[in-house]
Homo-oligomer: A and B are copies of this chain.
Amino acid sequence: MIRAIDFKEDILYLIDQRRLPIHEELFECKTHSEVEYAIREMVVRGAPAIGATAAYGVVLAAKEFMNDNKEDFLGKMNDALDFINKSRPTAVNLMWAIKRMRNKLSEYKDLDTKQIYTKLKEEADIILKEDIQTNKQMARHGNEVIPKGATILTHCNTGALATAGYGTALGVIREAHYTGKDIFVYADETRPRLQGGRLTAWELVKENIPAKLVADNAAATLIRDGKIDVILVGADRIALNGDTANKIGTFMLSVIAKRYNVPFYIVAPVTTIDFDIETGEDIEIEERSSEEVTHVFGNRVAPMGIDVYNPAFDVTPHENITGIITEEGILKPPFKESIIKIKK
């Protein structure tokens, strides 16, 4: 099994996803600053994976400040939580994990720093473990909407690399494959960072799931020509009305899917729902550096002097979404009602 995130003896080992599929290397984090860097620079990416990584960042902070007095410790921990929380703006799982760790810190603030560290470590381990369980539950629910022999289109990477393991949308694809559904996958390469071409393709090849890679521009023709039975994508943040922020290009697919009546599902854990926002208009969309478009693997592909607009995400309006596959089951429209029902 692919493990994107592994914590051993106070070192967080991340598969360096910037270098895949050419190089399979581990990136080691020994401090919370290194974790913040790893999230910001996309050593690790994918909303659930970012959440779990952030949690271990808090553990590393506790390790770093363990020998300070309690007051200093709590002050520095607070700063560290804030610092990691701002590493990327769109995926709500990051804020969710930080909040959960902050609550734990608050709950055990009267223990000594060593004990607090242990409690935080336990919590991060639970977050990681829960995410895998959650993914497997989502996969089982999602598999119900996959017809035998289906051809599935997916975007970006939502697999083991994007989560603690197994994956969200790619988890459903795994489940369909391993339950003998005889599926075929088209994977969008997902410019600018090529998470589909680099990461999803890598996972599909590793597990011998029949698949073809396409340029993002080719997906619409596949959909129009009736070659796609179902579209599965992940999410970075879901509003109360079902509007969903996900990797740039998702919105485009959703419009084409709706026009040509192809089922379009979001696959995401309940932690991706932001119960504090009403609609997608309230979701901050991260704009990333020009170099992601002007360069590929460090090599310039566009001329000097050209400006770039590079939003990392877009918002798919709820009316384009057939269902939201979560660990609690498949939410159906009207999402305003189905989402509020699962709020704990």
* Cα A284 to Cα B98 with chains together (Å): 54
* Cα A65 to Cα B315 with chains together (Å): 61
Residue pair A309, B191 in contact (C-beta under 8 Å): no
Residue pair B216, A217 in contact (C-beta under 8 Å): yes
Number of A residues near B (Cβ < 8 Å) is 54
* Cα A205 to Cα B310 with chains together (Å): 18
A311 (CB) vs chain B CBs: closest residue: B218
Residue pair B252, A302 in contact (C-beta under 8 Å): no
Residue A248 is within 8 A (CB to CB) of chain B in the complex: yes
Residue A22 is within 8 A (CB to CB) of chain B in the complex: yes
0/1 per residue, A301-323, Cβ < 8 Å to B? 11111111111001100000000
Looking at chain A's contact residues, the main secondary structure is mixed
* Cα A305 to Cα B205 with chains together (Å): 6
Enumerate chain B residues within 8 angstroms of A211, measured Cβ to Cβ: 306-307
* Cα A251 to Cα B252 with chains together (Å): 12
Residue A114 is within 8 A (CB to CB) of chain B in the complex: no
* Cα A103 to Cα B51 with chains together (Å): 68
Residue pair A302, B217 in contact (C-beta under 8 Å): no
Residue pair A302, B213 in contact (C-beta under 8 Å): yes
Residue pair B256, A252 in contact (C-beta under 8 Å): yes
A108–chain B nearest beta-carbon distance, Å: 43
A223–chain B nearest beta-carbon distance, Å: 9
Enumerate chain B residues within 8 angstroms of A204, measured Cβ to Cβ: 306
A224/B251 contact (C-beta < 8 A), A294-B213, A302-B21 known: yes
Within 248-278 of A, Cβ neighbours of B (below 8 Å) are at: 248-249, 251-252, 255-256, 259
Residue pair B308, A220 in contact (C-beta under 8 Å): no
Residue A221 is within 8 A (CB to CB) of chain B in the complex: yes
Residue A331 is within 8 A (CB to CB) of chain B in the complex: no
A259/B255 contact (C-beta < 8 A), A197-B293, A213-B308, A293-B189 known: yes
Residue A186 is within 8 A (CB to CB) of chain B in the complex: yes
Residue pair A215, B293 in contact (C-beta under 8 Å): yes
Enumerate chain B residues within 8 angstroms of A224, measured Cβ to Cβ: 251
A21–chain B nearest beta-carbon distance, Å: 4
Residue A87 is within 8 A (CB to CB) of chain B in the complex: no
A176–chain B nearest beta-carbon distance, Å: 18
* Cα A251 to Cα B54 with chains together (Å): 41
Given A201-B306, A218-B311, 20 extra CB contacts under 8 A: A192-B215, A198-B303, A201-B302, A212-B306, A212-B308, A212-B309, A213-B294, A214-B293, A215-B310, A216-B217, A216-B249, A217-B247, A219-B252, A221-B248, A221-B311, A222-B309, A255-B255, A259-B259, A296-B296, A297-B301
Task: Give 10 closest A-B pairs by Cβ, nearest first.
Answer: A217-B249, A220-B252, A21-B303, A201-B306, A191-B215, A296-B296, A205-B305, A197-B302, A217-B248, A221-B314
